[in-house]
Each structure stands twice: as C-alpha cells, then as structure tokens.
A and B are shown apart, each in its own frame.
Chain A
Amino acid sequence: MSIGVIICRCNGVIDLDFDKLRDEISDNDVKVFVRNAICIDKEPWSELKKNNISKLVIAACSPQFHERTFRNMLKNVTLSVPFSIVNLKEHVAFVHRDKKLSYEKSKAMIKATIEKMKNIKEETIVEEIKPNKNVLIIGAGVSGLKVAECLERLGFEPIIIEKNERIGGIIERLPKIYPYNVSGKEFLNNIIKNLRKTKIITNAEVSSVLGKFGNYSVTVIRRENNTIEIMNFRVPCIIIATGIEEWKPFDITYLKYGRVPNVITQLELSEKLMRNEDIKANRIFMQLCVGSRDEKFYNYCSKMCCIYTLENAIELRKRGKEVFIGYMDIRTIWKAEELFNEARKLGIKFIRGKVANVTEKNGVLKLSVENTLENVVEDIEVDLLVLSSALKAPDTNKDLSQILDVELDEHNFFKKLYYKLREIETRKRGIYVIGSSTGPKSIEDCIIEAKATAKKIATEVFLPRLRPRAPSVIDEKLCIGCQICYKVCPHRAIEMIITGDGEKARVLVENCKSCGACVANCPTGAAQLEGYTTEQMLQYIETLIKEAKMDKKIATFVCYECGYAALDMIGIKRLKYSESYLIIPVPCLARVGMLDIFKALSSGADGVLLIGCLENGCHYLKGNEYATYLVGICKDILDAIGVEKERIDIIKVTNADYYKLYEKLVEFHKKIISLPKLEVGK
C-alpha cells in the first residue's frame, strides 16, 4: 500500500528544487519519481508498475489537457490505480516569477493531494439495471412521430401518448409545407406508414412519472367515451414532443377576431385551403406578427408564420385574389427567401406596418393600416383579414413540467439543458425534449432534432454503463430527512423515501452528475461524494494552507469547468500573478460549503476567492448561483464577527474572458495585501 508521486519536468519548464522536494514529501508510504515529458515517454510508467504502487499523484500539466493521455499511458502498462493530477505548469510555472514561493506553492499542492489520496476508497462496482426497449414519447406531432420512426429502426419499441383524438399536431393543418412541397398530411403519412412496432395511444395524458434514467415508471390515463383507463409503463427514456399551438388573438380587441366572421387566423385559413374550400373573398389582407414580437403578449418571434403565410398568400394569389401582407420584417431565412421573391413576382402587395383598426360593414372590412415606410395611415377595404397569430406553448406544459420535474423557461417552453450543445436534453437525465416544445421550430429542425435524439438514446441506453463515475452517497443513518439535498440537487437526482425510521433522502444514482451540491449543503454530513467528501476536502484545505510557507495566502476554489479553464488560459498566455493563490479544485462551485470557506480562513488563509462559470453557463446548472448566495452569507458572517468582509469574493468567467479573471486576480491580491494579517482565534 503505497502512493506514487510522479513529477514531470516538462523540458525544464517545471523547474523546482527537486531534491529538496523529494526529501520533504517522501516517507514510508510515498515514493517520488521525477521524470521528463511523461506525456510522451512510456518508460516512467512502466517503472511505476514495477514499484507496485496502489495510488498515484501526477504533478505535471493541466489535467484538462492530459487527463486522458495519462489514463491511456496507465492502460498501456496495465496499471489500474486511482490517480489525481496537480497542475504545476499552467498554475505555477507559467504564471509565477518567484522561485522560492513557486516551490512552496507546488509543495503544498502536492502534499495536500497526497493527503487526500490516502483516504480515497476505490469504487465498488454495483449491479446495473437492464433497461428495456420501450421509449415513451409525449405528443404525436411531426417530431414525435419522426423520433418513433428512427427509434424503431434501431430496435426500440416506442409508445406515443397524444392528448387529442387525432394525431399530427400543427403540421396536419398545413396545405403545403416548405421546403418539401407536399401537404402536411401527406408528409406525416409517409412517416406513419413506417411505424410497425410503435403503440399510439390517443386521448391520453401522463399522470405521474417516478424513477430514474434507465427505469422510469410512468402512469398514463386514457379518457374515451366516459371511460377511464389507467396504464403503467416502464421506460428507460421519455421524450417530450408536445409541440406548439396557435394563439387565438381575442385579446387584441381592435382586430375584432371572434367578433367578425371574416377575421380569421392563418391556421384557420390553412385548414380551409387544406379542405379545398372555396375562399369567397377577393381582397385579402394578411397581418404578420399578431401577438408575437409584442411586449404585451409574446416577445419572441414565432419564426414559422412568415413561411406558411407566404405559402397561403401565393396559393390565393394563384387563384386570382388580391393579396396584401402587412409585416414588420419578412423573416424568410435561408432559401425560404425564394418564397418571398415569388410572392413579390406574383404581385402580392407588401406593406410594412400594422393594422391599427378594423371596422366592418356588410361583410366588407375597412382597415386602417399604418404604413411605416411612407409614414401614412392607409385605408384598405378587404373581404377577409387573416391574422398570422403567435405560436405559443400549450397550457398543458405547466402540469407536465411538474409531473416530469423539469423546468420551463419564461415563455412556458421546456427549458433546454444548455443552449449550444444540449438543446435536446433537460436537467433530468433520460428526459429529452424535441421539436417546438422548446420554442418555434421549422419542420426541418424538428426532423433533425428527432434524429439526433434517437442517436443519443441509442448510445446512452443500448451500450453498457448507465452509472456515473462516482455518484453521491447518502448515509441513511445520518440522514434526518430535512429535504435540503432534495431541493438543491440541480439534476433532480435525489428522491425522498419513507422508511421505518422516518423520511430519508436517497440518491437516484443514474441521474447523479457528481457536482457535490448535496455534500456542501447537508447539515449532518450524510451526503458524501467520493474524492470530495467533507473529510477529504477539509484535510486538503488544511494541508494546503499550512504547508505553504508564505506571507499572504489566498485559498482559491476553482470549479473544474470554466474556472479551471480560464485559469489555464492565463497560464497559456503566460500572464503573471501572485504565488499567494493556492488552488483548490472542486467539480463545481456547488461543492463549496461554508465549512470549507471557514476552514480555509481558520487554517491561515488571508482571503478566499471562488472562480466559477459564467451566469447561465454553469455546467451543473446551479453551482455558480449557489456559490453567489454562499459568498453573500459568508460576508455577512465575517462582518458580524468583525473581520473585513472583502476577504471573500467570487468571480464568474469563461475561458474567453481569461483577461477579466487575470485583472480580478491582480486586484484581489492587492486588496488582500492591504489588509492586516488575519489572526485566527482573536
């Protein structure tokens, strides 16, 4: 049972007094190896293997760069040990000038990591649940049907729940869809005819969802002809495809929708065209952006209305009608521009402006249109006014979000996990969201999302290992059932269960992302995260602060995502800052608790700085938010006991903003220097 410490010289960039370092950190259990270029040289790794070590500390460059490289190296020499990396390159060698202080910082970080590694337990591998081949899809619109088709091809057996009697959603009502040039119905039929194993249940709603990724248990209620049928399903994944619906603009009273029969919405017109109904009107005015791009109703753009409005206008124009379109901006993005060009060629009249008033007399509508290009109010007489009304989230989203325990955004659409990369996922693992459930989408986008979701599910569910690396564990004996962890968990990976001993929290292992929010907030220490348990963290902090022999020390909690990356980037740019910053990496700032901050101060740190991801950018969703509250509370406490509250601070950055972080490091160090030495116990 010994710990190996391998230190890389990196061609002389990491330049410490290695003999002294070896003397200081070696003991019976700790063996030190100083080598060069361990990322390319295999020899030191085979040496480690020979020395029979059981745990490993690698002091080299950023784990962000080379964690995987080192793992491959270990695999090559068939050495299977838990390891931890100390960054002596980007966090020390590239950013500090003073050799002596750099040595102290490096030594302290290595020693602290050794202390932590001593207590690390190897994970025991637990039996995995075997997911079945069903997937539940909520909503039978184009996205829902398409994803079912894709999943079927991969061997799944999807179940589609539709709340209405008919399937097809909004697309079924469109006479012609862009850019496919077929009717919505035809397009859907082409998908439906491929569905063989899919079970479609109409008139049904989801009433409850329990369980975790790989094994959700869902209750569905089906209402038909006054009978209620209750069904239960077990599924590994759930896909939300509830789509979007047209807003009925009763609230814009001057447009007289619902009061005058020849004022209709665009989709109502589409339905008429779809049924091949004869449109009696000769002069038709279409108004875009009714309720959308409007602060009073829906402040977003509904994206699709420009396109289906133009399709309808072109169709009517071809039937010889006179068509006007009132618009703010025509948003025919990408090649849909050709529709706009065609419409203009056909002689459809575009008026930049809005209908301000409607009066009706004997079936003729008199419109007052504000023309913003010519700055006049025009009076136009038409037979039919068609309103391209906003597309909005269905009202049922609210209930559904509660049942599924996922979030909604400010427009009542389902919230995506992350804007750039993870638009089809939600905060709960195994619950996907596709199509217009997250905002207005084109049909092409819906198809793409459906395919992408099928791919994700196939990779996640079919292949082994549903469990995360080192999930949180809650000790039932210590748990007092206070529900704090249940409430703070950003990924909803904790459930409350009733035992003979009262209510207890339990981790839904498959959903856990190991951020440590529960550990930092548990009042009794029942929740623990291997590698970052309360004990391991406190020991790390104490060793780190006490071992570093320097004048001023700043405990720097760095989240392992954007914070660490930004700090690395300062190193890569080789900007210089003070050696006082002693790095304490955490998976996410959510793991930092009050205990950790005060432990740092009581061990001798003069200041505490937290570095985390940008607002809305936390990789674990809520960590930076929690940390901001925490810093506020800690400041108040310091204030109450008469210590300068400027000693604690937080900064939220991304690696593109490394310079902002650099300025903060310089400024915070200046502030700490200006403060007197913090006397503990005074």
Chain B
Amino acid sequence: MKIVVIGGGLSGLQASIELADHGYDVIIVEKEPYLGGNALYLHKYFPSYPLDCSYCIQSCRDSTGIRKCFYRSGIHSIENIKIYTLSEIKDIKEENGRFKIEIIKRPRYVDENRCVNCKRCEDVCPVTIQDNYSKRKAIYINDQGIPPVYTIDIKSCKKCGKCLEVCQTNAINLDDNEKIFEEIVDRIIVATGFEEYKPYDIIEYKYGKSSFVITQFELAKILSQQKKGLIVNGRKINRVLMIQCVASRDVRRFKYCSKICCLYALKHAIMLKELDNEIDIYIAFMDIRSYGLYEFWYSKARELGVKFIRGRPGSIEEHEKHLKVYVENTLEQKLQEIDVDLVVLSSALVPNKSSLKIFKLLGIETDEYGFAYEDSKIVSISGTASQIRDVPETIKSSISSTLKFLDPIITEEIKKRREEAVMMMYKTFTC
C-alpha cells in the first residue's frame, strides 16, 4: 500500500512515521523548502514546563521507542518514506481505485543527493539578508532543516558563483529547473494545517502600519532569536500589551474561538518574564480559556506578575516612542489608557491558504471558513486541517487518522520489511 501525505508539518510527519512504522510506503509532499510547518518557527512549546523545544518525533523503529528531536529524527533517511519538498500537488486523478498524482517541484538549486551540509558555501556567500526574525545568507539552511541540505534564495542570489567554487561535491546548480513527478498511490492523508490570520483589515489595531504591532507568531519568531531582553526593530521593549481574540469570536470575521491563542499568549508572557523580569506585560482578554489542566499556565502567569485586563482595546495610537492603547476595562468599568512599547495581537487561526485547492481536487467538503469536514474511506484528514488543535491533540489526531488505512491482515511482505528495518537498528552502538 502506498500513501501520500499532503503537508509536511507536525501532523503530516507524525502520520507518515506511523504508516512507515507499520510497513507502508509513504510519500510526503511539502511546499516549503524544509519540513516542519508552523512548528519549525515556534521555538518553544507548551504544555511541558519548563518549556522545551519545538518538537520531537518518535518512531517504533528507534528500537527502544525513545523520541528524537525533530532535526535528528533522521526522517529523511527512512527507506519507505519519500520526501518531496518545495513541491505542490498539481493534479489528482482517480484511476481504478488508485490515484495518479502530479507533483510540481520547484528548483532548490542545490542537489539534495549531493549536498553534505559542510556549510562552506554559506561562508563564502556575499549576500546577507536580515530582518526582525532571522539573519541569513542567500544560500541558507534552516537550523533544524530536514532534509539537511542547503537552499538558494534565487531572488536575492547575485549568481557570483563563489559557492560553486567551494562545493566539492558539485551539488550546486544555478540553472536548476522546475520538475514534474508522477506518483500512483492508494490512499491520501491531508495534513495541510493552519496559519495565522494577518489582521490588516482591523484598522484600529494598525497591524501592518506600525512596526510595533505584531502577531503572536511573529513574536515567537523574534523570541527564538533573543538572548537577553527583548529588542524589536531596534527598540528595547519594556511594556507589552497582548490583545486576545483578534478576529476570532468575531461575528463579522471568524465566529469560532481559535482555542490555542490564550495558551500561547500565556506561554509568551511567561517566556518574556523569564527572559527579562522587568518587562511589564498586560493581556487584554474577553475570557481566558486555559482549559483543562492548562489552567496551570494561567496561574503561573499571574504568579509571575502578568497583568490581566478584561476588555477589548478600542484603538491604538502611535506616538514617537510608544503606543497608546485605549481599553475599556469591563471589570473596573473605566476607560484605561496604557502606554506600551509593543502590541502583540493574538490573531485568529485559519486554514492554510493552499489547502483549499487540495480540498477542491479531492472533493472534500469544508465549513464556511475552509476547515475540512468528515473524510471518506480513501482520504483521511489529519491534524489542524479539520480543526484547531494544540500539539498533543494534533499528534493524537494524526495517529488516529492513519487507523482506517491499517489492514487487519498483516502481509508477509510488510512483516519482512519491518523485521529488516528493526534488525538494522541492532547493529549500532553510538558512543
């Protein structure tokens, strides 16, 4: 049985690992240069405290079943998983109960089978790109990048050819082209995931106008780069206001509650406090929804001195050195003015843009916002493509999405393949 997993984020990878462990052939199609999806940029995660790193992967193949960091999971070298990065699905055709899928792979300009990740090209590359979130060269690799090979950002590349000179394995090809692949598969898992809504249309919050109004995901990226204190756009941040339920629980935009924004707002508040105890943090909320055992995060944040204001900010004024926020405090029934250096919007979470096309191709029905409904026998929806979930729920949902593809009868071939894979493990004594 061959299964294609669309989307190489947390959910897609977990589903792939589960299927591969069971002895099936898996194809992962990911549109970005590296696997990982949203999780790749989010640095640290709840719910474990102290916060630990973005995520790990656990497979039965690692004989003892001990989880491995994402980057060292070796998922790119599992024999029955084939990875297409920088790729998108162009077409899916049903043929005698199987699917013919057409995959377009954009050029990476670095041969995945030749690059050994020696980093010499990066050293000689003369182009540096720097923004709030990262500093990199025109030829770059993500720190936890899977596959562990370089990518050229062809828009900023000057084609000076210096990297070609130092690459001893001839991995770089600046004239790389788009390629089209065809695969025949039996089953499909859709794990296209979610993204953060960019609230440009909420004019009063000045997102996109002021460089000191950012979203939670942007803050997460900034936090992953900070070592001491918080500096955004060259400004030392001493006071932060977080606004909850931006565009979610909003009759005009998204009626649903985005579920996890309260939790990561609390997480970020705690991280900021741990980074620099002097920072004043305000959270303007409607209801704090730290559901279930996550109540711990709410208590922890209050303990660390995060200030909670029940109310919805009406407007934000930008001044030369600070932002002035007007909040109607519904607990104290007064209009409060707060001067802050940075406003962080907990914006609604919405389905990934590219998922719509896939749903259409597969004839999957969605709700009014674009989250997928019930799936069919041959297509399974995994993770956040069908609803917003936190990390543990996403993992469980991905595992469960593979269940219906399991055959009650284990064929000899699958047995043999798995035996082989596990036997190979027995030979290593890494030390």
A-B interaction: yes
Residue of A37, A153, A465 near B168 (CB, 8 A) is: A37
Chain B residues with Cβ below 8 Å from A448 are: 393, 396-397, 400
- Contact between B293 and A411, CB atoms less than 8 A apart: yes
Residue of A117, A458, A565 near B22 (CB, 8 A) is: A458
- What separation, in Å, do the CA atoms of A189 and B427 have in the docked complex? 50
Residue of A62, A66, A332, A659 near B227 (CB, 8 A) is: A659
Interface digits, B7-38 against A, CB 8 Å rule (1 contact, 0 not)? 00000000000100111000000000000000
- Interface segment among B43-51, B82-90, B318-326: the answer is B43-51
Chain B residues with Cβ below 8 Å from A72 are: 77, 79
A178 adjacent to chain B (CB < 8 Å): no
Q: Which 5 A-B pairs have the closest CB atoms?
A: A64-B72, A451-B400, A656-B53, A329-B287, A68-B74
Q: Given the interface contacts A11-B116, A468-B64, does A565 sit within 8 Å of B69 by beta carbon? A: yes
- What separation, in Å, do the CA atoms of A540 and B431 have in the docked complex? 9
- What separation, in Å, do the CA atoms of A333 and B299 have in the docked complex? 19
Residue of B48, B53, B419 near A464 (CB, 8 A) is: B419
A299 adjacent to chain B (CB < 8 Å): yes
Chain B residues with Cβ below 8 Å from A439 are: 292-293
- Contact between B429 and A120, CB atoms less than 8 A apart: yes
13 contacts between A and B (CB under 8 A): A63-B428, A72-B77, A85-B428, A120-B429, A155-B408, A301-B291, A334-B257, A413-B293, A448-B397, A452-B396, A469-B64, A531-B431, A561-B66
Residues of B within 8 A of A (CB): 18, 21-23, 43-45, 47-50, 52-58, 60, 63-69, 71-72, 74, 77-79, 113-114, 116-120, 143, 148, 166-169, 224, 227, 249, 255-259, 287-296, 299, 330-333, 387-388, 391-393, 395-397, 399-400, 402-403, 406, 408-410, 414-415, 418-419, 422-431
Q: Given the interface contacts A67-B74, A458-B22, does A452 sit within 8 Å of B66 by beta carbon? A: no
Residue of B50, B68, B287, B388 near A614 (CB, 8 A) is: B50
- Contact between A37 and B52, CB atoms less than 8 A apart: no
Residue of B289, B291, B396, B410 near A423 (CB, 8 A) is: B396
- Contact between B289 and A329, CB atoms less than 8 A apart: yes
- Contact between B48 and A37, CB atoms less than 8 A apart: no
- Contact between B113 and A655, CB atoms less than 8 A apart: no
- Contact between A615 and B74, CB atoms less than 8 A apart: no
- What separation, in Å, do the CA atoms of A332 and B114 have in the docked complex? 51
- Contact between A71 and B427, CB atoms less than 8 A apart: yes
Closest residue on chain A to residue B67 by CB atoms:
A421
Closest residue on chain B to residue A38 by CB atoms:
B116
- Contact between B259 and A420, CB atoms less than 8 A apart: no
- Contact between A463 and B410, CB atoms less than 8 A apart: yes
CB distance from B431 to the nearest CB of A (A): 5
Interface residues of A in 1-46 (CB under 8 A from B): 10-13, 36-37, 39-40
Residue of A413, A459, A620 near B60 (CB, 8 A) is: A459
Chain B residues with Cβ below 8 Å from A619 are: 66-67
Chain B residues with Cβ below 8 Å from A629 are: none
- Interface segment among A201-209, A255-263, A568-576: the answer is A568-576
Q: Beyond the given A154-B406, A411-B293, A655-B53, please list 19 additional residue pairs across the A-B interface where CB-CB is below 8 A.
A: A10-B118, A11-B118, A12-B168, A36-B168, A65-B117, A71-B427, A75-B424, A150-B403, A153-B408, A154-B408, A337-B256, A419-B48, A420-B55, A424-B396, A449-B396, A449-B400, A464-B419, A513-B64, A654-B52
Closest residue on chain A to residue B53 by CB atoms:
A656
- Contact between A656 and B426, CB atoms less than 8 A apart: no
- The total number of A-B Cβ pairs within 8 Å is 285
- What separation, in Å, do the CA atoms of A336 and B248 have in the docked complex? 13
Residue of B53, B287, B294, B410 near A657 (CB, 8 A) is: B53
Closest residue on chain B to residue A302 by CB atoms:
B292
Q: Given the interface contacts A411-B293, A565-B69, A616-B50, does A68 sit within 8 Å of B255 by beta carbon? A: no
Chain A residues with Cβ below 8 Å from B392 are: 419-421, 423
Chain A residues with Cβ below 8 Å from B50 are: 614-617
Chain A residues with Cβ below 8 Å from B414 are: 463
Residue of A40, A64, A372, A540 near B71 (CB, 8 A) is: A64
- What separation, in Å, do the CA atoms of A450 and B397 have in the docked complex? 10
- What separation, in Å, do the CA atoms of A364 and B288 have in the docked complex? 34
- What separation, in Å, do the CA atoms of A332 and B287 have in the docked complex? 10
- What separation, in Å, do the CA atoms of A40 and B171 have in the docked complex? 11
CB distance from A606 to the nearest CB of B (A): 23
- Contact between B395 and A116, CB atoms less than 8 A apart: no
CB distance from B396 to the nearest CB of A (A): 5
- Contact between A617 and B71, CB atoms less than 8 A apart: no
- Contact between B428 and A84, CB atoms less than 8 A apart: yes
CB distance from A461 to the nearest CB of B (A): 10
Interface residues of A in 285-337 (CB under 8 A from B): 293, 299-303, 329-337
- What separation, in Å, do the CA atoms of A421 and B67 have in the docked complex? 8
- What separation, in Å, do the CA atoms of A448 and B114 have in the docked complex? 41
Residue of B48, B77, B424 near A617 (CB, 8 A) is: B48
Chain A residues with Cβ below 8 Å from B53 are: 562, 654-657
Interface residues on A, range: 35 or more
For A336, A413, A569, the residue with the greatest tally of chain B CB atoms inside 10 Å of its CB is: A569
- Contact between A568 and B72, CB atoms less than 8 A apart: yes
A456 adjacent to chain B (CB < 8 Å): yes
For B22, B399, B419, the residue with the greatest tally of chain A CB atoms inside 10 Å of its CB is: B399
- What separation, in Å, do the CA atoms of A117 and B429 have in the docked complex? 9
CB distance from A407 to the nearest CB of B (A): 15
Residue of B56, B116, B331, B426 near A421 (CB, 8 A) is: B56
Interface residues of A in 609-625 (CB under 8 A from B): 614-617, 619-620
Closest residue on chain B to residue A13 by CB atoms:
B118
- Contact between A68 and B78, CB atoms less than 8 A apart: yes
A81 adjacent to chain B (CB < 8 Å): yes
Closest residue on chain B to residue A73 by CB atoms:
B77
CB distance from A111 to the nearest CB of B (A): 13
Chain A residues with Cβ below 8 Å from B393 are: 445, 448
- What separation, in Å, do the CA atoms of A61 and B72 have in the docked complex? 12
Closest residue on chain B to residue A306 by CB atoms:
B291
Chain B residues with Cβ below 8 Å from A440 are: 292-293
- Contact between A372 and B331, CB atoms less than 8 A apart: yes
- Contact between B293 and A465, CB atoms less than 8 A apart: no
Chain A residues with Cβ below 8 Å from B429 are: 82-84, 116-117, 120, 470, 530-531
Chain A residues with Cβ below 8 Å from B71 are: 64-65, 565, 655
- What separation, in Å, do the CA atoms of A439 and B296 have in the docked complex? 13
Chain B residues with Cβ below 8 Å from A293 are: 295
CB distance from B318 to the nearest CB of A (A): 31
Chain B residues with Cβ below 8 Å from A449 are: 396, 400
- Contact between B55 and A614, CB atoms less than 8 A apart: no
- What separation, in Å, do the CA atoms of A10 and B402 have in the docked complex? 39
- What separation, in Å, do the CA atoms of A263 and B19 have in the docked complex? 52
A674 adjacent to chain B (CB < 8 Å): no
- Contact between A84 and B431, CB atoms less than 8 A apart: yes
A514 adjacent to chain B (CB < 8 Å): yes
Q: Given the interface contacts A329-B289, A452-B396, A531-B431, does A422 sit within 8 Å of B118 by beta carbon? A: no
- Contact between B418 and A464, CB atoms less than 8 A apart: yes
Residue of B60, B69, B119, B428 near A460 (CB, 8 A) is: B60
- What separation, in Å, do the CA atoms of A31 and B68 have in the docked complex? 32
Residue of B54, B113, B256, B295 near A300 (CB, 8 A) is: B295
- What separation, in Å, do the CA atoms of A116 and B429 have in the docked complex? 10
Chain B residues with Cβ below 8 Å from A117 are: 429
Chain A residues with Cβ below 8 Å from B45 are: 420
- Contact between A470 and B426, CB atoms less than 8 A apart: yes
Closest residue on chain A to residue B425 by CB atoms:
A469
A373 adjacent to chain B (CB < 8 Å): yes
A216 adjacent to chain B (CB < 8 Å): no
Residue of B79, B169, B391, B406 near A455 (CB, 8 A) is: B406
Chain B residues with Cβ below 8 Å from A69 are: 74, 77
Chain A residues with Cβ below 8 Å from B118 are: 10-13
- What separation, in Å, do the CA atoms of A509 and B403 have in the docked complex? 28
- Contact between A337 and B168, CB atoms less than 8 A apart: no
Chain A residues with Cβ below 8 Å from B69 are: 64, 561-562, 565, 655
A560 adjacent to chain B (CB < 8 Å): yes
A527 adjacent to chain B (CB < 8 Å): no
